[in-house]
Amino acid sequence: MGAVRAAQLGFKVACIDRDKLGGVCLNWGCIPSKALLHGAEIYDEAVNHGKEWGINVGDVTVDWRAFIGRSRKITEQLNGGVGFLFKKNCVEHIQGHAHITSGNNGVTPCTVEVRTPTGEYYNGNGGDVIETVTADRVLIATGAKPRELPFAPCDGKTILQSSHAMTLEERPESLVIIGSGAIGMEFAYVYNAFGTKVTIIEMLDRIVPLEDEDISKLAGRVFKKQGMDIHTSASVNAIEANENGATVTFTKNDNESKVEAQKVLVAIGVGPRCDGLFDDSLGMELHRGYIKTDAKDVEEPTYRTSVSGVYAIGDIIGPPLLAHVASEEAVTCVERMAGHNTFGVDYKSIPGCTYTNPQIASIGMTEQQVKDAGIEYIKGEYSLKAHGKAIAVGAAEGVVKLLASKPYGEILGAHIIGHDASELIAEIGLAIRLEATIEDIVSTMHPHPTMAESIHEAALGTENRMIHN
Ligand SMILES: Cc1cc2nc3c(=O)[nH]c(=O)nc-3n(C[C@H](O)[C@H](O)[C@H](O)COP(=O)(O)OP(=O)(O)OC[C@H]3O[C@@H](n4cnc5c(N)ncnc54)[C@H](O)[C@@H]3O)c2cc1C
């Protein structure tokens, strides 16, 4: 995104990547995972709920390789799309591992060595120098890599990280997932939908723990009802591989338990990815391992690092670790390089979504954060149980929760679990961006019948004016 926008702005641009174009999002993250999730939903809907629709599907078989293959084909199609955009915008693509050796000191430009990419997708320092590139400015967007448990490194066979779980040759009969954030829950949904016995072990006291507490609680109930075995406040102490898979030992309330599974997915988050990225002599300033920029310190960040001429955006500068944040930061960064007065990223209104069924989406402050900040607030909570469109499409499980400040109704946060939540949250993003109030949402006509009407009802709920409740 940054490369294309920079080229549009008239910069001469080269993009160095050690692997396929499109980064994690396109190759191993957002896009292929959504393809798998959609497939799982189709299966779940037809096999487990078909009868409710009067649709008897009979014996259904799943061609697992074709299912996985489709998601891989999509990434290839999109790789090609990025290549096309590069050509169209005259962005030079250099394949190799980038190693920055100097910044721009006002006399000499930044220097980047391009090395042979060694190691596997997420790890590797780079080997021999293939060529050396110089530029007035360098923008780092090297992203993040999955964190591993120190006592049980991923082997790709039994102990997996997300990229392995996305390409298994066969569906396991049982799967333990360690961590219940968005990535853990999305894989939980996919495998559980197809009949894998899924056990989730979460260290914190609720699943999707970054979400509003009410949403987490409902998510816990819904996913348990779908058949997942969920252990919260539980920490994994050991994973021992054996001929059938692995034994996972965890402690909960001082009691030790064991669970057997064919595969174990470690989904405990991601960390900075800067192996072999820069010379120590640069003195690149880091914060908790992530590259430090001015992103969170000033109102209009330039994304400069501590090294002159070197900028950084996306996962490599730290949370929130989301593709849309990385894209917006990249565009903002290069537009500001070009001297544009771009609006930039509003870090207070970043939507986050989990694409399970039901989906989970949120933006702004949770109720606890509002309380902790001592803000007086109003709240509207609308259950989808009585919502026409939700009932029509067989998705009446969920809730929309809106938080707004007193006395003017400034929107502080929105938290949704339910059908199409990831689409609904965009309305609230725009509302926050426009500094709209609850009254603005109330007075906006929402088409009928839509899931969007649930936002309208929740807004009415902040003033005790809900109709369908
Ligand atoms: C399973 C999964 C699902 C996800 N789902 C979502 C989602 O639904 N929505 C969402 O917003 N986010 C999602 N994410 C997160 C999202 O993928 C990241 O936030 C996003 O990709 C970050 O973009 P980035 O440009 O910072 O880095 P990345 O996309 O990680 O790209 C980094 C690129 O840098 C290259 N690179 C690294 N080091 C070097 C080097 N030294 N030299 C040359 N090249 C190098 C890599 O090859 C890679 O292409 C998901 C992540 C995972 C793992």
**Residue 238 CB neighbours (<10 A):** 14
Q: How far is the CA of 144 from the centre of ligand 1 (A)?
A: 6
Q: Is residue 135 domain-shared with residue 262, that is, in the same domain?
A: no
Say which residues have a Cβ less than 8 Å from residue 106's Cβ, sequence separation at least 6: 308
Tell whether 81 and 177 lie within a shared domain: no
**Residue among 122, 182, 178 nearest 149 (CA):** 178
Claim to verify: residue 380 and residue 436 sit in the same structural domain: yes
The whole-number average pLDDT for the span 297-322 is 97
Residue 183 sits in the same domain as residue 316: no
- Both 208 and 326 in one domain: the answer is no
Amino acid symbol at 232: T
DSSP 45: I
User: What's 376's domain CATH number?
Assistant: 3.30.390.30
Nearest to 171 by CA among 198, 150, 152: 198
Per this entry, what is the length of the chain? Answer: 469
Measured CA to CA, the distance from residue 429 to residue 418 in angstroms comes to 17
What atom of ligand 1 comes closest to residue 19's alpha carbon?
47
In tens, the pLDDT along 175-190 reads: 999 999 999 999 999 9
Tell me: pLDDT of 469 over 90.
Answer: no
Claim to verify: residue 8 and residue 137 sit in the same structural domain: yes
- pLDDT tens sequence across 244-282: 999 999 999 999 999 999 999 999 999 999 999 999 999
Catalytic sites, residue numbers? 448
Tell me: pLDDT of 468 over 90: no
Residue 375 lies in a domain: yes
One domain for residues 137 and 278: yes
Provide the percentage of residues in the chain whose pLDDT is more than 90: 98
pLDDT at 414 over 90: yes
Cα separation, 108 vs 456, whole angstroms: 57
pLDDT averaged over every residue in the chain: 97
Share of the chain above pLDDT 70, in %: 100
Q: How many CB atoms lie within 10 A of CB 465?
A: 12
Residue 47 in this model has a pLDDT that exceeds 90: yes
Q: What is the Å distance from ligand 1's center to 326 Cα?
A: 9
Give yes or no: residues 52 and 140 share one domain. Answer: yes
Mutation choice for ligand 1 from 4, 25, 68, 356, CB with most ligand atoms inside 8 A: 25
Cα of 26 from ligand 1 centre, angstroms: 8
Convert the pLDDT of each residue in 105-158 to its tens digit.
999 999 999 999 999 999 999 999 999 999 999 999 999 999 999 999 999 999
Binning pLDDT at 50, 70 and 90, where does residue 316 land? Answer: very high
pLDDT above 90 (res 402): yes
Residue linked to tokens 């969170």: 296
Q: At which of 268, 292, 322 does a domain end?
A: 268
Tell me which residues have their CB closer than 6 angstroms to ligand 1.
Answer: 16-19, 23-25, 28-30, 33, 97-98, 141-144, 162, 183, 273, 277, 314-316, 321-324, 326
Which pLDDT score is estimated for 389?
A: 98
Is 264 within the bounds of a domain? yes
Select from 246, 268, 290 the last residue of a domain: 268
Q: Give 458 Cα–ligand 1 centroid separation in angstroms.
A: 34
Atom of ligand 1 nearest to the CA of 321: 19
Nearest-angstrom CA–CA distance, 469 and 461:
9
Please tell me whether residues 7 and 89 are part of one structural domain: yes
Q: Is residue 208 one of the residues assigned to a domain?
A: yes
Pairing relationship of beta strands 234-242 and 138-140 according to DSSP bridges:
unpaired
Q: Predicted confidence band at 296 (pLDDT cuts at 50, 70, 90)?
A: confident
Please identify, by atom number, the ligand 1 atom nearest to the C-alpha of residue 187.
1
Same domain, 198 and 298: no
Domain boundaries, position 236: 159-268
